Amino acid sequence: MRMTDRTLELDCSKLTPTFSQRLVAGLAPLASLFRVFRNRMEINRLHDLSDTQLRDIGLTRADVTSAFLASTFFEDPSEHLTRSARNRWRLPSLLRSYDE
């Protein structure tokens, strides 16, 4: 009895994207730009908060100002604020661990 090997070559690497995939890929930069501007407007509203309210969320007024100064026009300043709040949160916990 003789067996023949049959192979089927599939070229899966050259799949053409569907219309909806191309549409999503084309609109992604626009959605990202919209998100940056929305975050800038929301962070600008942080200037209206008092110092105690900012401290409650782990920020200072200097953090809000420096986030705008450190970020370019098309860069999201919320990343700078997140980094500042996390660093401020970690610093006391690190100091407490050294005291113990």
Residue 41 lies in a domain: yes
Give me the mean pLDDT over the 67-74 stretch: 82
3-state helix, strand, coil in the chain (%, to 5): 70, 0, 30
Residue 76: CB partners within 8 Å, gap ≥ 6?
A: 35, 36, 39, 40
pTM: 0.59
> 36 in a domain, yes or no?
yes
Checking if the pLDDT of 27 tops 90, the result is yes
Domain coverage including residue 41: 21-45
Total structural domains within the chain? 1
Query: Taking all residues of the chain, what is their mean pLDDT, rounded to a whole number?
Result: 81
Q: Which long-range contacts (CB under 8 A, 24 or more apart) does 42-48 make?
A: 42/78, 43/67, 43/68, 43/77, 43/78, 43/81, 44/68
Evaluate whether residue 39 is within a structural domain: yes
Residue 79 token pair = 């990343």
On whether residue 27 sits in a domain, the answer given is yes
Widest pairwise Cα distance in the chain: 87
In-domain check, residue 98? no
Residue 37 lies in a domain: yes
Q: Answer whether residue 35 is part of any domain.
A: yes
Asked if 46 and 5 count as a contact pair (C-beta separation under 8 A), the reply is no
31 lies in some domain = yes
- Give the rounded percent of residues in the chain with a pLDDT score beyond 70: 76
- How much is the pLDDT for 7? 64
